[in-house]
Structure 1
Amino acid sequence: MTALDEYRRLEALGLWRERAEDQRREVVVSLGDATLVMSAPSGEAVGHWSLPAVERRNPGKSPALFAPSSDSEEELEIADAEMVAAIERIRTAIARSRPRPGRLRLVLAAGVIAAIALLGLFWLPGALTRQTVSLLPDAKRVEIGEDLLTEMITIAGRPCGGQGGRTALMRLSVRTFGTEDAPRLILFPSLIPETTSLPGNFIVTSASLAEDYETPEVFAGYLLAEGLRRDLRDPVEIFLTEAGLGVTFRLLTTGAIPEDAIHAHAARLLSRGVSALPDDALIDRFATARISTQPYAFARDVSGESVLGLIEADPMRGQANEPVLSDADWVSLQEICSS
């Protein structure tokens, strides 16, 4: 120990007593190997104290009073400032080198608290949302979808509703998705983005998909893309993630959703762009529906450069195309907003 080496030969006079009722005796105090040694003037050692255990009973006062432990009657009085400073320095050095279980516990406790906080901040909201989504019955999903649709109508105006057009929309949905998974399609006169999914198996679409293109394959392609987005991420999960932990917990415990959360999400859906999709997964959807990818690809990029993968991997290349809609249904769909 550096502090001990520096004071190894230091000696000073002191007054020592073994018990409280004893008279103080003059002794020679010297620093030994990790000990404080008290000797009589004759040279006989009268006491050995372990330096790590030595305690000072009157910090900051002079002469200094030391004891071998807190509960000991033995006491040593030293007036020599250099010896007192040496003992204090050695005690401080020893104290710093000791293990600190209290500090370790504090560090561990702080780490645990931080881990719990991070867990609550990053894991709990997602876990609670996923749990709520998995437990939500179909009827509640439909209710949420209808509430969002009502709010979208308040913001964007009424959807197109000509009778012939509604029938054509139903047939387009069945032709694109099959009879078991056909969503209800709602078509607005103008909408950004072109498609968006609502809980309860609703897909909201823009009238431009019918009005701006010559064939229904383009419309069907946008629907297939939206169906893939919906399957990759549940619309209810998107809603609850954006609404926050409070709305999620309220839905899980009471089944209720605040109106302002519905309004805010409906507004976001009406102004949100669509996410990109992997070509392979999208092509598989077209292949299952037996619909060519080329009309949809060229509708997205007339040059074909950014959608070359969809064009070259068209699953219907060289095969007879099955009609998506009859000419009469397609005309009815194109006129749905004018009837």
Structure 2
Amino acid sequence: MTALDDYRRLEALGLWRERAEDQRREVVVALGEATLVMSSPAGEPLGHWSLPAIERRNPGKTPALYAPADDSEEELEIADLEMVRAIERIRTAIAKSRPRPGRVRLLFAVGFVAAAGALGVFWLPDALTRQTVSLLPEAKRIEIGEQLLGQMTRIAGRPCGGPGGRTALLRLSTRTFGPENPPQLVIIPATIPATISLPGNVVAASAALAEDFETPEVLAGYLLAEAVRRDTQDPVEVFLSEAGLGVTFRLLTTGEVAEEAIHAHAARLLSRDVTMVADTDLLERFGAAQISSQPYAFARDVSGESVLGLIEADPMRGLSGPTVLQDADWVRLQEICAD
């Protein structure tokens, strides 16, 4: 995204509120990797929005008013003209980058029909999927992730958003994964697999991981395990592999995905079992995050028998790392679905 490269270090002051009834507060606004990041003047993270999803509520007027989505109560007011121009340029670039039918469709269709004839139908599905995944713009990944989350919402209920909950999720994500492009976390109220990775750097987690445990290290551990799974297989590749050749070809040539394919994959994600990851890979993640692996291990098996490797090789054994989450934020997460 070349438009973003020009403004990567740009910061400005703004006025932000998380809910409609909240008082606006001054924040530092910065352009991140595919996100707009809001922090307190002291550097405490407060929120991050997906750039492709941002909506302007008062086009052509100043100060500019932005929201992370059409139906969101969150709102950000920016008076700094350079930042407003940067955001508008990026939004325009994202809109132009969305694939359109026409010449591109014809070129890709001719190319892949020829390839299919030359190499045969047994080679084509996997190769076409890999090619589509490699060519897919980040904006389209984010769009597919948002569509999947929307379908998951229809099936399992809206993501929880209790007072201060989303801010607490951002702090947990930043603490667990670091400040450079941490995943956006959402909490789903229904009974779902522990964690689900979506395209566009989004991770959905079951509310039970906050409600049923006393410390945030358990939720952080499940998030780290999901990161290992996400590194193993791209969520877009999982979607296309299961959706089939027709969906993949249509996405590559037109940039569109049928709603039926999105709904079917969302249903699969909500009903499948979570696969376990190798202890060595997971322990490396715990070590990098400076988080003890023992709370996560005992959450999986209270006896400790099946998770002995995670207990005995805890990278933080005898050490004290930074606090995973302050008590007040953890309470907010435990109550995020209470409203």
Q: TM-score, normalised by structure 1?
A: 0.64
Alignment of structure 1 residues 304-323 onto 2, 5 Å: 304-323=304-323
Letter in 1 for 2:272: R
User: How far 1:120 sits from its partner (Å)?
Assistant: 3.2
Distance between the aligned counterparts of 1:122 and 1:169, measured in 2?
44
Higher RCO (CA 8 Å, separation ≥ 6 residues): 2
Cα distance between partner residues in 1 of 2:289 and 2:153: 31
C-alpha displacement at 1:276, in angstroms? 1.5
- Aligned pair count reads 224
Runs of 4+ in 1 over 6 A off after TM superposition: none
Paired residue secondary structure (1:204): strand
Structural mapping, 1:1-339, within 5 Å: 120-339=120-339
Shift of the alpha carbon at 1:123? 2.2
Identity %: 71
Which runs of 5 or more structure 2 residues have no equivalent in the other structure? Answer: 1-115
CA distance in 2, matches of 1:253, 1:134: 14
- In the TM superposition, residue 117 of structure 1 has moved relative to its aligned partner by 9.0
Which amino acid counterpart does residue 309 of structure 2 have in structure 1? Answer: G
Partner of 1:48: none
- Preserved CA contact (<8 Å) 1:165 1:336: yes
Corresponding residue of 1:32: none
Counterpart amino acid of residue 247 in structure 2: V
Query: For 1:145 and 1:118, how far apart are their aligned partners in 2?
Result: 34
What is the CA distance between 1:308 and its match in structure 2? 0.6
- 2:191 is paired with a residue whose SS is coil
Query: 230-239 or 117-126, which moves further after superposition?
Result: 117-126
Measured in 1, the distance between the counterparts of 2:191 and 2:272 equals 10
Contact 1:191–1:205 (CA under 8 A) maintained in structure 2: no
Q: Is the 8 A contact 1:197 1:235 kept in 2?
A: yes
CA contact (8 A) 1:162 1:337 kept: yes
Q: What SS does the aligned partner of 1:270 have?
A: helix
Residue identity in the other structure for 1:128 = L
Deviation at 1:148, TM superposition (A): 0.4
Deviations 1:85-140 (A, max 9, x none): xxxxxxxxxxxxxxxxxxxxxxxxxxxxxxx9996343211111011001101000
CA RMSD of aligned residues (A): 1.4
The 3-state SS of whatever aligns with 1:283 is: helix
**Which whole-Å CA distance do the structure 1 matches of 2:226 and 2:324 have between them?**
17
Q: Is the 8 A contact 1:192 1:273 kept in 2?
A: no
Q: Distance in 2 between matches of 1:323 and 1:121?
A: 53
For residues 201-230 of structure 1, what are the alpha-carbon distances to aligned partners after superposition, in whole Å with 9 as ceiling and x for unaligned? 010111100000000000000000001101
CA distance in 2, matches of 1:253, 1:335: 45
CA contact (8 A) 2:193 2:273 kept: yes
TM-score by length of 2: 0.64
